[in-house]
Structure 1
Amino acid sequence: MSDVLIGVDIGGTEIVAGLVHDGGRVSARRSCPTPRTGGRDIVERANELVSGLLRESPEPVRAVGVGAPGTIDPVSGCVTSCTDTVPGWLGTEIAGPLSERSGLPVAVDNDVRAAAAAVALDEQVREFGRVLYVSLGTGVGGALIVDGRVLRGRFGTHGEIAHLITPEPGHLPCGCGRHDHLEAVAAGPAIAAAYAAGGEDAPALPEVAARLRDGEERAALVVERAGHLLGRTLSGLVTALDLDAVVVAGGAAGLGDPLLGPFAAALDAESRPPARTTPVLRPATPDTPVLGAARVAAHHSPEVVHES
C-alpha cells in the first residue's frame, strides 16, 4: 500500500488539488476557479476538492498539505500577511476548516516555497547549489534553494521578488499598489494589461498567448518587454547571491521562449561578471505546485531552513 497524501495549491486564478502517491505520482486531480469573494469561499472550494478526492481515492489518505499565497503561520495555518492579489485573504484560517471537514491532519505553507521544495528534488535542479525559483502567475513569487533546501529567513520573505524595483513601470499595479514593482510588469495580468495599453481590447493572458502563437507582432513585443524587464530586474540578484541557475514556473512562464529568451538574454547582459551565463530552467512537471503542497503534509511543517 502506498503512502497517499492530498496536495492543494491555492492560486490567484485557480485552485488545484491532487492525490499524491509516495511523494511523486499524482493519480487524480480536481480544480476550480479561485473565488474573488473572500477567504471563506476559497477555503470552501478547497474543501469541496478535497472531499471529492477522498471519495475517489482507492487507498486511505494520510494527510492534506496546502500551498497558499501570503505569509502563513505554520502552527495555526492562518494567513498573517498578504497583498490584495487575492481579495479578502488576510486572516483566513485554512488548516482548521479543512481538517474539520476531512478529519485529517492539515499542514499549510506559502505556495511558492512549497513548490520550490518540490522543484529542489528535480534531477536538473539538484546539480546546482544556489537556485532562484520564480513563479509568474496572478502575482509574482520567489524562493531561494540552497543545496537542495528552501530558505525562509527570519520574517519568512527569503527569496521574495515581487516588490523589487523595475527599470520601467507597469500598466497594472502590484498587489501592494505600486507600479514600479516586478509584479506590475511580469505577472500574468500585468502582461495582459500591457497588451491592452496598446489598443482598445483587454484580453486575458490566454488570449494574448494565442495571438502570440498566431504571430501577432503586438503580442510578441509585449511579451518580449516583460521578459526583458524581468531579466534586468533579477540580474542584480544573480550577482549578489552568486546564483547557479533560475527556475521559472507559473502560468505566464507558459508563454515559453518569447518570454524566457529575452529574460535569459537580459539576465546575462546585466549580471557580473559580463561573461557569466545563468541557466534558465522550467520545472520537470506541471504538477510541481501540488507535489510541493503534498510535501508540506508529508513533513508536517514547512520544508525550509530557518535563519536568524
Structure 2
Amino acid sequence: MTLPATVAVDVGGTKIRAGSVIDGELAHVRSVPTPAADGAQAVLNTIAEVAAAVIAETSGSRGAGSASRGAVSGSHGAGSTSSAAESGGGDGSDSDFAWRIGIGAAGVIDPVTGTVVSATESLPGWAGTDLVAELTARTGLPVRVVNDVHAHALGEAAAGASRDSRSSLLVAAGTGIGGGFITDGHLLTGRNSAAGHIGHVPSAAAAGLACPCGGTGHVEAIASGPAILNTYQRLACGSAESNTEPAEPAAQGQSHNSASATAFRAPTSTPNSRSDRAGAAPAPTNTRELAVAASAGDALALRAFDIGARALGSALGGIVNVLSPELVVIGGGLADMDETWWGPLREAFAAELIPAASGTPLVKAELGQDAALIGAAGLWNDEPGQKH
C-alpha cells in the first residue's frame, strides 16, 4: 500500500525551497538559488531537479530501493528529460509513496490552469508559463500550483497562527507587501487570480511615491522594507518629498473615516543625517542595518519605521473593515521587528477599525518560510481544479 506524498515547492526570485510532506509532516527541506537570469526554462529545470532530490532523499530514508536513492545531481540543461518520477520507480511512486507536487510560486498564478498570469522582472520570462504542463512533462508527476503568498496564507491557516479560525487575512510584509484571504479553509483568488495585492492599496502617506508596480501612491511604496529604507534616506537628506510625521491618532469618538486618523504631515524641521554627526556610525544601507539602528535609538531610523508601520496599519484597518476576518496574521521580514515597528502598526490599525471590527487580533505568523511549503502541499486537500 502506498501513502500519498507531496513534494512542496516555494519558488521565489532568489531561491527555491522544497521538502516532502507526508501525513502533514514537513521534512527533507532543501534550498537552491533560483536561476532567474537564465529564464523560465532554467527555473523549471531547477524545480524538477530539486523535486527529484527530495523524493530520492525521502524514499532513501524510508529504506526504498537503490533507484530511489539515486538522487538527481547537478544542473539540468534546457533540453533535459530527467524526471522526478525516474528517481521513484518511473511512475511517480515507489514501494512506500505515491508522489505529487504542490507549488507556491511568485507571480499572479491561475490555480485552475496552473499558468503564470503575470510576473515582475525578478523572474524574467515567467509570465505566460504553464507551470502544470511544463513540470508534469519534466517530472511525470501531477502538479498543482498557487501564488507563493497565497500558499503562505494556506499554510498558516492549516497549521500556523490562524489554524483555529474560520477566516483570516495573511499579510506578507517584507521586500514587497502581499496577502491572502482565507475563509472556511478556502482561498479567495478573485477575478484573474489577482486577489491579495494589499501592497497596491492607495495610501495618503505614499502620495507621489513610485510603486514597483509602475503606479504611484500605493502602500508598498511607503511600507515595504526597501520603502522604509528610502524614507530614512529622504529624511537624512532633508528631502521635502518625505511624507513623514504621523498625525496624532483620532480623538475618541471621532469618525473612523476621518482623514486625521491616517494622514501624514510634513515635518517642521529635519534632523541632519546621522552619518554627518561626529562619531556617528555609517548610515544603514539595507533594511536589516536600519532595524539595528532603530533598536539602538537612532531617531531617523525610528521615524522611518514609524511612518511605514502606520501606513500599513491604516491600510490593513481599512481592509478589515471590508472583509471582516477573525484575525490578521503578519508574516515576512518586517514581522521579525520589535515594538519599533509593531507598536505603531497596531496603533494605526486599531484607529482605523469601525466599531463592529474593533478588537480584531493582529498577530505574528508562526511558520516562517515553511508556511508556503505546508500551504502548497495542502493544495492536494481540495478537489482537482477547484477555484476559490
- The answer to whether structure 1 residue 223 and structure 2 residue 224 are counterparts is no
Matches within 5 A, 1:271-290: 271-273=353-355, 276-286=358-368, 287-290=370-373
Aligned residue for 1:203, secondary structure, equals coil
Q: Residue 27 of structure 1 aligns with which residue?
A: 27
Aligned residue for 1:174, secondary structure, equals coil
Q: Distance in 2 between matches of 1:93 and 1:174?
A: 28
Q: Residue 12 of structure 2 aligns with which residue?
A: 11
- The answer to whether structure 1 residue 246 and structure 2 residue 283 are counterparts is no
Aligned residue for 1:5, secondary structure, equals strand
After alignment, is 284-293 or 117-126 more displaced?
117-126
How far is 1:265 from its partner?
Answer: 1.0
Matched AA of 1:45: T
Deviations 1:242-272 (CA, angstroms, capped at 9, x unpaired): 3331111122322243322211110101221
Aligned residue for 1:16, secondary structure, equals strand
Q: Residue 103 of structure 1 aligns with which residue?
A: 140
- The answer to whether structure 1 residue 66 and structure 2 residue 107 are counterparts is no
Q: Distance in 2 between matches of 1:262 and 1:93?
A: 42
Aligned residue for 2:316, secondary structure, equals helix
Q: Residue 41 of structure 1 aligns with which residue?
A: 42
How far is 1:98 from its partner?
Answer: 2.6
Matches within 5 A, 1:189-268: 189-197=226-234, 198=236, 203-268=285-350
After alignment, is 108-117 or 71-80 more displaced?
71-80
After alignment, is 239-248 or 74-83 more displaced?
74-83
Q: Distance in 2 between matches of 1:184 and 1:167?
A: 11
Structure ID, larger Rg: 2
Residue pair 2:223, 2:312 contacting (<8 A) in 1 also: yes
Aligned with 1:155 (options 192, 199, 202): 192
Residue pair 1:149, 1:303 contacting (<8 A) in 2 also: no
Structure 1 residues 277, 213: closer, same or farther in 2, change over 3 A? Answer: same
Matched AA of 1:235: G
Aligned with 2:374 (options 264, 286, 291): 291
Aligned residue for 2:194, secondary structure, equals coil
Residue pair 1:11, 1:138 contacting (<8 A) in 2 also: no
What runs of 5+ residues in structure 2 fail to find an aligned partner? Answer: 63-96, 237-272, 276-282
Aligned residue for 2:204, secondary structure, equals coil
How far is 1:36 from its partner?
Answer: 4.2
How far is 1:73 from its partner?
Answer: 3.0
Structure 1 residues 41, 284: closer, same or farther in 2, change over 3 A? Answer: same
Aligned residue for 2:222, secondary structure, equals helix
Q: Root-mean-square deviation (CA), in Å?
A: 2.9
Residue pair 1:107, 1:300 contacting (<8 A) in 2 also: no
Aligned residue for 1:133, secondary structure, equals strand
Structure 1 residues 21, 208: closer, same or farther in 2, change over 3 A? Answer: farther
How far is 1:280 from its partner?
Answer: 0.8
Residue pair 1:6, 1:294 contacting (<8 A) in 2 also: yes
Aligned with 2:206 (options 159, 162, 169): 169
TM-score normalised per structure 2 = 0.69
Q: How many pairs align? A: 304
How far is 1:215 from its partner?
Answer: 4.4
Q: Distance in 2 between matches of 1:123 and 1:188?
A: 24
TM-score normalised per structure 1 = 0.85
Identity of aligned residues (%): 35
Matched AA of 1:48: E
Matched AA of 1:289: A
Structure 1 residues 130, 223: closer, same or farther in 2, change over 3 A? Answer: same
Deviations 1:184-236 (CA, angstroms, capped at 9, x unpaired): 22233323333344368562333333444444443332222211110112221
Q: Residue 91 of structure 2 aligns with which residue?
A: none
Q: Distance in 2 between matches of 1:237 and 1:143?
A: 12
Aligned residue for 1:4, secondary structure, equals strand
Q: Distance in 2 between matches of 1:168 and 1:160?
A: 18
How far is 1:237 from its partner?
Answer: 1.6
